[in-house]
Amino acid sequence: MLINTFSHIPGIGPTTEEKLWNNGIKTWKEALLRPENIGRKAPAIQRGIQTSIDHLENKNAKYFEDLLPASQHFRLFPEFRDSCVFLDIETTGLEATSTITTIALYDGSSTRYYVQGKNLDAFLRDIQQYQVIVTYNGKTFDLPFIQKHFNCQLPHAHIDLRYILKSLGFKGGLKKCERAVGIDRQELDGVDGYFAILLWEEYQKTKNPKALDTLLAYNIEDVINLETLMVKAYNLKIKDTCFSNSHTIPEPPKAANPVKPDKDIIQKLKSAYYQW
């Protein structure tokens, strides 16, 4: 979709971009070969395209992220899919003193997870293998927590699905958006961010590995489902464009969660902390 994008070029907005598409200028190559179909903005557009080609060839996703609004970051996904990673964290709470308990990563084929007191520091090394991070609400939650914990600035481009889904009319948290598009969490249905805090507290108190496994299963389920949400959101965004027939991405089969939740732990904590 990036090679069909013109709205990141300074002075080119969505209206002008759509006019270009309607005039048969649907790719950067067509804009370079047919400036007469562009009009007076041809020189500026061609300069922007040459710069864009250089950045795309150098796999510089951050260049495009910086120039596109958050609701349009879905355009990065196809070209950078092989260097995308879906990320989610769990924490001890939302306060300034809260800390990260677990981090999960999923890149479309492999899953990694990190646990406070075990291997959390390995995250910063592993995340460098990717160029684009995909989250839900990561701009205001996950990434600030990570950067504070590791005292670093992540250089990656970032696709935050919260803004893309909001532009499509989906509001609320990740679980609400999942339900709206038909994603079923099965054994983890009803487990949420607050429950993740309870699971960590249970693990700290009892050292029961099943509590940690259930927390990790929940954390991993988030990143596995982010891939499905990313593809669904991308397809919905292009549905009403001239690219709907040519650019639609097949939905991937849902990955198997490598860690299984414990039903007894879930029931125990629900009985203890939730009103029925």
- How confident is the model at residue 275, as a pLDDT? 65
Strands of 84-91's sheet in order across? 111-115, 100-106, 84-91, 132-135, 157-160
Residue 274: pLDDT band with limits 50, 70, 90 = confident
The segment with the largest mean pLDDT, out of 18-22, 210-214, 272-276, is 210-214
Amino acid at 194: Y
Residue 41: pLDDT band with limits 50, 70, 90 = confident
- How confident is the model at residue 162, as a pLDDT? 97
| 276 pLDDT higher than 60 | no
- How confident is the model at residue 37, as a pLDDT? 86
Residue 190: pLDDT band with limits 50, 70, 90 = confident
- How confident is the model at residue 220, as a pLDDT? 98
Percent of the residues in the chain that have a pLDDT greater than 90, as a whole number? 89
Whether 33 and 52 have beta carbons less than 8 Å apart is answered as no
Exposure b/e, 48-60, CB count within 10 A at least 16 = b: bbeebeebbeeeb
- How confident is the model at residue 142, as a pLDDT? 97
Hey, what are 196's tokens? Answer: 């993740």
- How confident is the model at residue 11, as a pLDDT? 86
Q: How far apart are CA 88 and CA 175, in angstroms?
A: 13
Q: How far apart are CA 106 and CA 249, in angstroms?
A: 18
Coil/strand/helix, residue 135: strand
- How confident is the model at residue 229, as a pLDDT? 97
Hey, what are 11's tokens? Answer: 């002075």
Percent of the residues in the chain that have a pLDDT greater than 70, as a whole number? 99
Whether 6 and 16 have beta carbons less than 8 Å apart is answered as yes
**pLDDT, tens digit, 9 for 90 and up, residues 115-147:** 999 999 999 999 999 999 999 999 999 999 999
Whether 99 and 146 have beta carbons less than 8 Å apart is answered as no
Amino acid at 96: A
| 258 pLDDT higher than 70 | yes
Q: Residues 16-27: what's their mean pLDDT?
A: 93
Q: How far apart are CA 39 and CA 21, in angstroms?
A: 13
Q: Residues 34-48: what's their mean pLDDT?
A: 89
Q: How far apart are CA 14 and CA 26, in angstroms?
A: 13
Burial status of residue 275 (CB atoms within 10 A of its CB: 0-12, 13-18, 19 or more)? exposed
Q: Residues 68-82: what's their mean pLDDT?
A: 97
- How confident is the model at residue 96, as a pLDDT? 83
Partner residues linked to 134 by β-bridges: 86, 159
